[in-house]
Structure 1
Amino acid sequence: AWAWIVTFLFPTSTFATAAGAVLILMGLDLLTKIFALSKQNGGFRKAVRCRKIVSNKFAKGTIDKLLIFGIMLVISGCAYNLMIIKDIAIRFTQAVYTIMFLRDVLSIIENLNDAGVQGLGLFKHVVKKKLDDYCDTDKEEKK
């Protein structure tokens, strides 16, 4: 049963690689958020003491991200296994993982910026532009 589930969710090795990359970025996002809050509040212990770093806030945000990730993982697996034209499913899955990847990269850059790390403006601009281009969010916002 386990092998069937893994094969269903990751029908090709690129699906597993993409999922792993997104999970790594989710972890980095969490770590950079803790780093930023620590820097803003005079260290990790002070941030915890003044309740800027609270486990239930991090748990909720992380659970929400993992829930979205899991749902999109299942949808991508279904698309690949149920669509007659595999290229459509592959493009859909690439879009899903690209959007999740870029959103987490943008969040990491913003966290580092909040921590006082300089020189990230160009990276933020490029990632945001790519995400906007990919999703056409500017067109949606103008409506």
Structure 2
Amino acid sequence: MPDLKSTPYKLVDAFLQVPPLAGKKPVRQLDPNIDKWFKPGEQVRQGFTVDDLVRDMDAAGVERGVMTAGVMRLPASPYSVGQGIADETYEKICGRVAEMLQQYPGRFHACFGLDPTGMMRAVRWLVRAVNEFGFRSAWI
């Protein structure tokens, strides 16, 4: 086994999510149990910028991050198909990730959060995320 103290290694945060816009109210209220046990910081409550995220990554020694862009909702029933999320919402979130890729080249890897129950619509969005926005992987 290699001696980890003498071997430099690189940290990758494998599941970053698109930061909420600074100054905006959270999209949803946090579950009281999450609030109680995980004690999310003010950034979760008040939003933060990409610069804040990169600064935190630097402080923690994280070299790269996999930025997962997706809008996941709980289905209305176990038999529902797709999540009924507007194309404009996907467009906006993919655009924000593409801006992050340009602002910090080489720092982030873009991953598209995909709901397979969306069937061909989900496939079309994955193709678009790769071809138009620079995404390189999918999270299902």
TM-score for the superposition, normalised by structure 1: 0.29
Ranked by relative contact order (alpha carbons within 8 Å, sequence separation 6 or more), the top structure is 1
Bigger share in helix: 1
Larger radius of gyration, structure 1 or 2? 1
> Normalising by structure 2, what TM-score?
0.29
